Chains A and B, each alone.
Chain A
Amino acid sequence: MTYREALRLALAEELEHDPRVFLMGEEVGQFEGAYKVSAGLMDRFGADRVRDTPISEEGFVGAGVGAAMLGERPVVEIMTLNFLLVAMDQVINHAAKIGAMFGGMVRCPMVIRTPNGAGAQLTAQHSQSFDQWFASTPGLKVVAPANPRDAKGLLKAAIRDEDPVLVIENLPIYKEKGEVPLDPDFTTPIGLADVPRKGSDLTLISHSFATKRCLDVAEDLAESHGLDIEVVDLRSLRPLDVETVAASVSKTSRAVCVEEGWPTYGVTAEIAARIGKACFDDLDAPVERVGMAEVPMPYAKNLETAALPGADRIAEAVLETLEGSR
């Protein structure tokens, strides 16, 4: 099953499971989803529960907030994370703060799901990874599945969660295939990282599409250099599973963190700081970070490729870290 199909299955199961759940967003209904995640769902569940919206992100994200406050379970689709920026006020100032600001008397159990990801020459305003903006906000939870299994499991966990959860999907892996449990009660726990590849020489830490890259690099370096690299997939950016990261780095003594966002103040900055504290005595080399070049994404294919943390750059960082070991 593809990543896209896994998301669709999660939505269908939750729409079936709980009458309070409804999906809304641009083109989710008649058009069957801009990226076809919701294909067939309006036919099956009706236009009330799979609700098309105008191009009006602030309006319908806020409507999701209000509906959630009355106990509905809205799943709001944003066509791409880039458009979530125009609804930032509703996410940061409203959804995230309701619980604390109102003394715990009102909750906001909503899901915002949105694809993200670069590599299709979509240029500066459509290829942005702002995961860290949201993940640094108390009151929100942020998850970013890297494979079909977790796409289903994390989306279902998000819908069943009592708090606002941002589910960051990924465009380039919508068509990736993988094993997906068909059990309708299968969920992936929020706040737990995964270790999809065990190893002893170095830990690669990443999330979403970058995890796939890291797994490929680990395989390549095993073949070409005989290296045994462990890969940690964060899965949740908030809550963050620092324990799994620290346990891995304590074992391997070396870490390279990878993200598709700008690294300054980014996810890798956070992870590197956590490793610095938790694994200070275990480290044999400085923690290295690989992120997107700190430029607005260019259009030209060669420039775009150069800006992204591709396999070459990750492999280079791994080898340099190993060389620099004490």
Chain B
Amino acid sequence: MTVHASPAEIETDQLLGMLERMYLIRRFETEAERQYKQAKIGGYCHLSSGQEATCVGTMDAMTDDDLLVTGYRSHGFALARHVPATEVMAELFGRVDGCARGRGGSMHLLDPDLGYYGGWGIVGGQLPVATGLALALVRQERPAAVLCELGDGAVNMGAWHESLNLASLWDLPIVYLVVNNIYGMGTSVERASAEPELFRRAHAHRMVGERIDGDDIEEVHAATSELLQTARDRHRPAVLEALTYRYRGHSVADAGLSYRDRDEIKEHQERDPIKRVRSVLSERGVEDEQLDAADERAQEQVAEAVEFADASPEPPLDQLAYGMYAKGSDKQFARMRPGSPFGERELVFDAGLGD
């Protein structure tokens, strides 16, 4: 494990803001699970309770110009990157005001205006894409870097190796953030990876690999800042492995107890990242009332998000094909669409191809 000699101490005000977003993630995820059980949310729903320090610490190390790519456990990163909780919840509800207009759901959140280029649902599939975003940054001479999140389960995919190789070979500004929560679904890192110290994989590609305590927000923030800066300045990629833990199962459908026991979960909860930030702030003299107020504001935001999502309409049926092709493409499809003499009824192509 690399120890950062002097982690840049985060200013108290900033840390308070970070605590509020950690609470927002925690409360949001608890609410998401409740809404899932009430069938307001469908599909898969991967929660990140317990991983808040990694989410918020990394996101606050990014500049507005940096780009974010994530896998499918993305609620925490989206909220930490300031995607409005209302839009994230509406997306989980499959509503038109969702951040992907109800077409992506839990696994495909995004907000291009915030430089968030998507949650992706195929393990490791986002890695080559993120690498290409970094290539575009270089071609466009933009002083920015990509932060590409993946889980510990993704490092055994070919896409991981191929992406690291390209990024190092081509000097691309990208940091691969491995969120190591110990389990790829229900298979532990030890049972899945011949080299369970995942950051060491970076060395085979002649790039920096570091392992940090992902539940220590100051360490997360310092390490991410440093590696992103190197990526921006010197176009060198890196691997950052954040050790953390998810309290809930792999998804809401998984109780998370067939491959681990309650003691293990309890043990990690004793080192809870939110409690840790609270105690740092207490030591700095912040009153409990102020800390509780952050939690209360987060809870209000979540309540507002549910209300917003509930009120948002379902996406219109006549726009089933919305966004699939760019504007102008409908002309190319004119000779096979319904309504043309030879169109098939199965080809829903009537309206709303894109903006």
Residues of A near any B CB (own CB < 8 A) = 22, 48, 53-54, 56, 58-72, 74, 89-90, 93-94, 98-107, 109, 138-139, 141, 161-163, 189-192, 236, 239-244, 246, 274, 277-278
Looking across the interface, which residue of chain B has its beta carbon closest to that of A72? B136
Residue from B110, B128, B159, B169 in contact with A66 in the complex, judged by beta carbons closer than 8 Å: B128
The reply to whether A63 and B326 form a contact with Cβ atoms under 8 Å apart is no
Identify 10 residue pairs between A and B in the complex whose beta-carbon atoms are under 8 Å apart, listed by A's number: A63-B132, A69-B133, A71-B140, A72-B135, A89-B125, A139-B324, A191-B333, A239-B333, A274-B344, A277-B342
The reply to whether A99 and B323 form a contact with Cβ atoms under 8 Å apart is yes
Residues of B near any A CB (own CB < 8 A) = 98-104, 108, 110, 112, 117-118, 120-122, 125, 127-137, 139-140, 158-159, 162-163, 165-166, 169, 321-329, 331-336, 340-344, 354-355
A104–B351 Cα gap in the complex (Å)? 13
A-B contact count (CB 8 A): 192
Residue from B128, B133, B139, B331 in contact with A90 in the complex, judged by beta carbons closer than 8 Å: B128
The reply to whether B340 and A243 form a contact with Cβ atoms under 8 Å apart is yes
Q: A105-B100, A246-B342 are in contact. Are A63 and B166 (CB under 8 A)?
A: yes
The reply to whether A106 and B110 form a contact with Cβ atoms under 8 Å apart is yes
A102–B299 Cα gap in the complex (Å)? 28
The reply to whether B129 and A104 form a contact with Cβ atoms under 8 Å apart is no
Q: A103-B102, A241-B336, A277-B342 are in contact. Are A64 and B326 (CB under 8 A)?
A: no
Looking across the interface, which residue of chain A has its beta carbon closest to that of B159? A58
The reply to whether B139 and A141 form a contact with Cβ atoms under 8 Å apart is no
Smallest distance from the beta carbon of B100 to chain A beta carbons, Å?
4
Residue from A60, A189, A243, A244 in contact with B166 in the complex, judged by beta carbons closer than 8 Å: A60
A67–B108 Cα gap in the complex (Å)? 19
The reply to whether A103 and B100 form a contact with Cβ atoms under 8 Å apart is yes
Looking across the interface, which residue of chain A has its beta carbon closest to that of B139? A72
The reply to whether B162 and A191 form a contact with Cβ atoms under 8 Å apart is no
The reply to whether B118 and A106 form a contact with Cβ atoms under 8 Å apart is yes
The reply to whether A189 and B332 form a contact with Cβ atoms under 8 Å apart is yes
Residue from B139, B331, B342 in contact with A243 in the complex, judged by beta carbons closer than 8 Å: B342
The reply to whether A67 and B132 form a contact with Cβ atoms under 8 Å apart is yes
The reply to whether B322 and A241 form a contact with Cβ atoms under 8 Å apart is no
- Kindly list chain B residues whose C-beta atoms are within 8 Å of the C-beta of A59: 128, 131, 159, 162-163, 165-166
- Kindly list chain B residues whose C-beta atoms are within 8 Å of the C-beta of A90: 125, 128-129
Looking across the interface, which residue of chain A has its beta carbon closest to that of B315? A103
A241–B322 Cα gap in the complex (Å)? 22
